[in-house]
Amino acid sequence: MSKVLLFCLLTLTLYAQSYEEFKQSQQQAFSSYKEARDKEFSEFLNKEWKSFKASQGALGYEKHKPLVLPKAPKVKQKAKEATEVTLKKNKQLLIETTSIEKVVPKGRKKIMIASSSDAYKTLYINYFGVEVELHYDKSILFGMKRSVSKEDITSAWKKLAKSEYEVSIKELNRISKELELNAWGEYLLIQKVSKALFSASNEEKLFTWFVLLKMGYDAHIAYQSHKLIVLLPVKGQLYNTVFYTLNTRKYYAIEYYAQGKIGSVLSYENSYKGATKVLDFSLQRLPLLAQDKKEKHFSFQLNNTRKELTLSYNKNLFEFFNSYPQVSYRTYFASPESILLDNSVKEAFNPILQGKRQSEALDIILNFVQNAFAYQVDDEQFNREKVMFPSETLFYPYSDCEDRAILFTYMVKVLLGLDVIGVKYPNHMATAVKIQEKIKGEYIGLKGKQYVVADPSYINATVGMSMPEFRGSKRYSIVSTGGEK
C-alpha cells in the first residue's frame, strides 16, 4: 500500500513540475512573440514615412436646413371619421400602453483596483461621474521635443514597448469590461488616462496611440512639424471629419471633428501585428454610469388644454452622449436610453395615450415634439452640425429636424412599440411609422411594407402629412432605426 502511495505522490510531483515548466515555456513564448512584434514594428517605424493628403469627410445634408419651420393647415375631423366604425370592430388597434420598469440597473460610482505592487503609482480619473483608480509603472513616462520627427516617435515607441506597461493595459481592459463600454467608450477612457498622465499634447497623443495598439485597435500616428495626430478607422460613417487613406482604408483624425482642414501629414502604411479593431460608435447597451438625475419641464397644448409634464434623464449619460462626433444616423435612432428616461416618458404619457387609436396616439406624440421644443439649426446653436441623442434634445434649449425625428422615434418605440424608420431628404429629416390603422396621407414603401409619414418638425401636422416641399418627393433615403419588423 505504501509503494502505491509513493508512486502516486511521485507521479503528481512530476506532473506538477511538468505543468509548471509548460506554463513557463508558454509565458516565455508569448513574451518573445510580443517582443518580436514590437521590435519588428520599431524597425518599420525607422523606415521612410510617406506624405498623405487630407480628405474631408462627408456632410450630413446636401442643402441647408430650413431656418423657420412651416405650420400645417388645420386637419378636418371628417378625414378620420371613416375609420371609426372599423375601429369599434377592431379593438386590437387601440393602444395599450407599455409597463414601467421597476428594477433600475445601478451604474458604477467607483472602480477601485487594488495595486499588485507597491512599486506602482496610482492614478485617479473621473469617467463621466465614475471615480476610477488605476495603476502604472513610472517607466511608461517619457518626454518629447517640441518639434516632431519619425526618430522621436520611434524612440518613444521603443521606450514604451520596453516599459512595464502591462499593468495599465490589464486594468484598462478590466475597467472597460466593468463599465460595459463600447469602442468609443474605450477610446474616451484611454484618452482621459493619457491626459491625466501627460500635460503635453504630443506625449498624450503618442501614449494614446500606443495603448490603442496594445488593446487591439488599428490606430496610426501621423505628424506635422510640431504636432502628433492619432488616426483611426471607423465602422460606419463619420461626418465632417478629416481622413487620410492608407492602404485603401480611411483613417480619421477624430479629434479634429468639425474643425476644417488640417493639411497633409506624414505617416506609415503598415499596421501593428494583431491590431485589427476599428472604432465602432454603435451602442448595443449603455455604459454603466452612475445616475445623476436631472429634470426638465415641458408644456404643450392638447385639445385646448395646456399640458405640463416633467421628464428625467441621467446627466452622466448625457455627457457621454454629448462627447460623440457626428456618426451614422442609425446610431442615434437605434441607441437605447436610460431606464430613468424611459420611465419618466411612460409616467407622463401613459395616462394620455391609453385606449387611443394608433393615429391619435401618434398625433399626441407628434404634437409634443413639434411644440414643446424651440427650433434652431445646429449652425446657429453650435456653429457646427450636431446630431442629438434623446436626452441631449431634452437638455439643450434648441433642436432641429433630425433631433426631433430621433426623439419622436424613441418615444414611439418606448410608448407604443411601433416600427419606425427615418426619412432623410436633401435638407430635412422626418420619420414614417408602420401602423395597422388605415388613414389618408403620404406613405413610404420599404421591402413591401407601407409606413405612413410622421413629421415632428412640421408644426401641428398630424400623422400622414408631409411638408409641402417634400410632398410626393422621391429624393429621400431610408435611415434604419434598428429592429425594423
41: left (phi over 0), alpha (psi -120 to 50) or beta: alpha
Torsion (CA) 109, 139, 167, 20 in degrees, nearest 10:
-160
| Per-residue confidence band for 25, with pLDDT thresholds at 50, 70 and 90 | very low
What pLDDT, on the 0 to 100 scale, is given for residue 347? 95
Q: Is the pLDDT of residue 88 over 90?
A: no
Mean pLDDT value across the chain: 88
pLDDT score at 27: 44
Predicted confidence (pLDDT) per residue in 183-208, tens digit: 999 999 999 999 999 999 999 999 99
pLDDT exceeds 90 at position 48: no
Average pLDDT over residues 148-154: 92
Q: What is the pTM of this model?
A: 0.88
C-alpha cell at 208: 494614446
> What backbone phi and psi angles, to 5 degrees, belong to 327?
-115, -170
How many CA atoms lie less than 13 Å away from 47 in the CB half-sphere? Answer: 8
pLDDT tens-place string over residues 402-455: 999 999 999 999 999 999 999 999 999 999 999 989 899 999 999 989 999 999
- How confident is the model over 304-312, as a mean pLDDT? 93
- Ranking 81-95, 210-224, 288-302, 420-434 by mean pLDDT, the lowest is 81-95
How far apart (Å, rounded) are the C-alpha atoms in residues 233 and 220?
A: 9
Sketch the domain layout of the chain as residue ranges.
Answer: 50-57+108-280, 77-104+302-479
**How far apart are the C-alpha atoms of 110 and 19, rounded to whole Å?**
38
Cα 294 to Cα 5, 8, 38, 317, 341: the distances in Å are: 69, 67, 48, 11, 10
Mean pLDDT to the nearest integer, 221-230 = 94
Residue 20: what pLDDT? 52
Q: What is the 3-state secondary structure (H, E, C) of the chain?
A: CHHHHHHHHHHHHHHHHHHHHHHHHHHHHHHHHHHHHHHHHHHHHCCCCEEECCEECCCCCCCCCCCCCCECCCCCHHHHHHHHHHHHHCHHHECCCCCCCCCCCCCECEEECCCCCCCCEEEEEEECCEEEEEEECHHHCCCCCCCCCHHHHHHHHHHHHHCCCHHHHHHHHHHHHHHCCCHHHHHHHHHHHHHHHCCCHHHHHHHHHHHHHHCCECCEEEECCCCEEEEECEECCECCCEEEEECCEEEECHHHCCCCCCCCEEECCCCCCCCCECEECCCCCCCCECCCEEEEEEEEEECCEEEEEEEEEEHHHHHHHHCCCCECHHHHHHCCCCHHHHHHHHHHHHHHHCCCEHHHHHHHHHHHHHHCCEECCHHHHCCCCCCCCHHHHHHCCEECHHHHHHHHHHHHHHHHCCEEEEEEECCEEEEEEECCCCCCCCEEEECCEEEEEECCCCECCCCCCCCHHHCCCCCCEEECCCCCC
pLDDT computed for residue 2 by the predictor? 55
By mean pLDDT, which of 191-195, 254-258, 455-459 is the weakest?
A: 254-258
User: What pLDDT is recorded for position 18?
Assistant: 53
pLDDT average, residue stretch 24-33: 43
Residue 60 above 70 pLDDT?
yes
- Tell me what pLDDT residue 442 has: 95
> Alpha carbon of 260 to those of 240, 253, 279, 379: distances in Å?
8, 11, 21, 14
Mean pLDDT of 314-332: 97
For the stretch 166-189, what's the b/e string if a residue is b when 16 or more beta carbons lie within 10 angstroms of its beta carbon? ebbeebbeebbeebbbbbbbbbbb
How much is the pLDDT for 259? 87
pLDDT reported for residue 90: 58
- The grid cell for 171 is 486594468
Residue 15 reports pLDDT greater than 50: no
pLDDT surpassing 70 at residue 383: yes
- The residue ranking higher by pLDDT, 247 or 62, is 247
- pLDDT higher than 80, residue 37: yes
Closest to 444 measured CA to CA, from 460, 427, 468, 420: 420
| Residue 181 vs residues 154, 322, 328: alpha-carbon distances, Å | 31, 15, 19
Q: Say what the pLDDT of residue 3 is.
A: 54
The CATH class of the 77-104+302-479 domain is alpha beta
